[in-house]
Amino acid sequence: MTVEEYNRSVDQFSDGLYRFILNNIRDTEKARDIIQDTYEKLWRKRETVSSEKVKSYLFTTAYHTMIDLLRKEKWSSDVSTVNSDSYSHTDQYSDLNEILNEAIGRLPEDQRSVIMLRDYEGYTYQEIAEITGLSESQVKVYIYRGRLFLKKYIGKIESVI
Amino acid sequence: MSITRENYESFFLDYLEGSLDSSLREEMDAFLKRNPDLKAELKEFEQVSLPADSVRFEEKEQLKKTASTRDDLGEPHFDHLCIAKIEGDLNIHEEKALDQMLIGQPQRKKELDLYFKTKLQPLPVIFPDKQLLKRKAPVFRLRSWYSVSAAASVILILVFSLLLSRFRNPQEERIAIIQPTAESSDNKVSEATAIMEEDIPSIPEEFAGRMVTQKQPEDQEKIDVVAMNIPETPMQKEGENFSGNGQETPADRRANLERLHRREFALINTSPEVTLATAGVTGRDNEGEGEYLTLREVVAGRLRSTVSAKEPGETGREDRITFLDIADAGVRGINRITGVDMKLERYYDQSGELTSYAFTSKPLSFSHEVKKKTSL
């Protein structure tokens, strides 16, 4: 890819990439670092990454960089430990987005990532599988479990409100 | 294979499970008849067998999947259809099944609405460091400039080589003719002597101001060297012949030149324009007012007029070959060799100071303003 295509990818994808990482780790500085690290990797690999594959490359690289960071910080949570009945909520919510944002933060890392890739970026199951390194059936299962959890969380909050 | 008392146990298990073939079964029957004690042991084996499992899974029907009718769809299937609905994965039959499930079921409609609310909406998040991520294209201009400079240097060397080769032509190396004058015999140069260029000593600066000119007929282009009222040197008093006599040896000639160093002399211009031999180097300024140029000025002017096609005095200082002169010569040389059209133009202010220069070609053009030195 040329320098112009690289700079265009910054304009086109850095916002979405930043949103994806920021909503996952909820840390502005770390999210910025991951984005800069991701684009630095893209720059080094620009001879081998075509402009058609650049978005997929960016999200794949950013996702794995984030996973590495989370594992280093032991920040990831176990899927099996999530119990939708066990969470408590004392915050006051003004709208659905806040509730949903809170619920997304409680999802296990894998479920959160696949749902955000699906909703924010509109990736297919196969594309999400390629980005995350999961199988397509695993992606479907994680989306199913994540939606189920979100629906129950929202339902409970709405019933309280 | 024969059944013996050593291997009968494995055959017993197969015998009891009925997995022995007919020939072995007949052989086992014969073996048991021959060994009645083992026949009693076989009956004990039969007694330890477990009765049939009476435990049953009572919810088999809930696990079974049948046609997509409202009565047959369980709750998990409803959630699956709802999620598939918001993901856009439902086919026509599943759409119809879900619609059927929602008829008369407000609670299910509410749940479906909740599922729709789980769809994340992109938030306007802006990455603030975009400009830090962007890269600049490589600066080819600088590299081109270096390439042009290098090419210009090579061409300049070639040009100088050509010029020097012309100067070294023995017939053309003569730059001045020393002729006798009508002055007194003690102080004049008695006969003309051609001085080869490499033998010409540099004129001391203290003599430069004493150089005078004398008009001669225009068809006589030569420089007369006349002695001025200068006291004789001790060497002259010794009666040594200063002028050449046709029998001069190289040692004599060098000695004469050393004397020339010690004498003040004047180069008298015998023509309006003193031509330095046939090389075409004009030794006077272009105004023709009698001011002679130094060798440095002559070379610089020659470079401009020959290589850069600029007249001496047109622009800039005459006694200095600048980097732009060299670059200009290189550009012109490249134009001649390659046939491309490149230009290196200089711009001056009213006082003759260089203000800027510009390079122009088809793929590249740029200009640069020259910083003026401010005097304190």
Tell me the backbone φ, ψ of residue B306, rounded to 5 degrees.
-85, -50
Spatial contact of B188 and B226, defined as CB atoms under 8 Å apart: yes
pLDDT tens figures, B273-298: 444 444 444 444 444 445 566 666 77
Residue A128 has pLDDT above 90, yes or no: yes
- Token pair of B18 as six digits: 């009925």
B108 touches chain A (CB under 8 A): no
CB contact under 8 Å between B136 and A3, yes or no, is yes
- Token pair of B275 as six digits: 């031509």
CB pairs under 8 A between A and B: 78
Side-chain-side CA neighbours of residue B24 (13 Å)? 15
CATH 1.10.10.10 residue ranges for chain A: 81-161
How many Å apart are CA B206 and CA B211, to the nearest integer?
10
Average pLDDT over residues B92-121: 85
How many Å apart are CA B295 and CA B319, to the nearest integer?
9
Q: Environment class of residue B252 by beta-carbon count within 10 Å: exposed (0-12), middle (13-18) or buried (19+)? A: middle
- Token pair of A105 as six digits: 């933060």
Q: What is the ipTM of this complex?
A: 0.71
Separation in Å, CA B337 to CA B143, B152, B155, B340: 21, 12, 10, 8
The domain defined by A1-76 folds into Rna Polymerase Sigma Factor; Chain: A (1.10.1740)
Q: Which helix (H) or strand (E) holds A108?
A: none
How many Å apart are CA A87 and CA A137, to the nearest integer?
28
CATH 1.10.1740 residue ranges for chain A: 1-76
Site of tokens 């009891």: B16
Within 8 A of A7 by CB-CB distance, chain B residues are 134-135
What is the residue type of B342?
M
pLDDT at B158: 80
What is the reported pTM?
A: 0.42
Quote the minimal CA–CA distance from B61 to chain A in Å: 24
Average pLDDT over residues A113-117: 90
Task: Provide, rounded to the nearest whole percent, the portion of chain A with pLDDT above 70.
Answer: 84
Q: What is the CATH number of domain A81-161?
A: 1.10.10.10
Within 8 A of A158 by CB-CB distance, chain B residues are 114
Q: Environment class of residue B285 by beta-carbon count within 10 Å: exposed (0-12), middle (13-18) or buried (19+)? A: middle
